[in-house]
Amino acid sequence: MEHPKETNLGSGNPEEGRVVRRQHREKKELQARIQAMKNSVPRSDKKKRKQLHLDVARLEAEMEQKHKQELEKFQENLPDSSNLDSITEDLAKMNLENQPPEISRAQKRVPGKGRNMGW
């Protein structure tokens, strides 16, 4: 089962899909680690709580930056993939445009409305 972000980021390249899945797994592991850290600090200790929030923000920012750099590096290695995606999208649109318009059931029942009978 793919994560919604994977479908947006993954352009069909298996290597990119692996990177995205690994990043997703790392993010889940970080969230679990953060939860463990939060559970280990008592609510009454405001100083430790504040430090915990700062540590959590730093860890999340580092992870986000690392993931962004990995994806940018991956995209630099494959600049043609984005061009290929736009070409395939254009081809898909062209195929749809070249097909005759679909006739509804009502139009099929009533002769002469919305279609050329070809007689």
Q: For the chain, give every domain's residue range.
A: 13-77
**Phi-psi domain of 10 (left: phi exceeds 0; alpha: psi -120 through 50; beta: other):** beta
Task: Compute the mean pLDDT over every residue in the chain, rounded to the nearest whole number.
Answer: 77
CA atoms within 13 A on the CB side of 94: 6
What is the rounded distance in angstroms from the CA atom of residue 42 to the CA atom of residue 44?
5
pLDDT in tens, 39-85: 999 999 999 999 999 999 999 999 999 999 988 887 777 655 556 67
pLDDT in tens, 84-94: 677 777 666 66
CA 63 to chain centre: 17
- What is the number of residues in the chain? 119
pLDDT band of residue 5 (cuts 50, 70, 90) is very low
Rounded to the nearest 10 degrees, the angle between the axes of helix 46-77 and helix 14-40 is: 180
pLDDT at 4 over 60: no
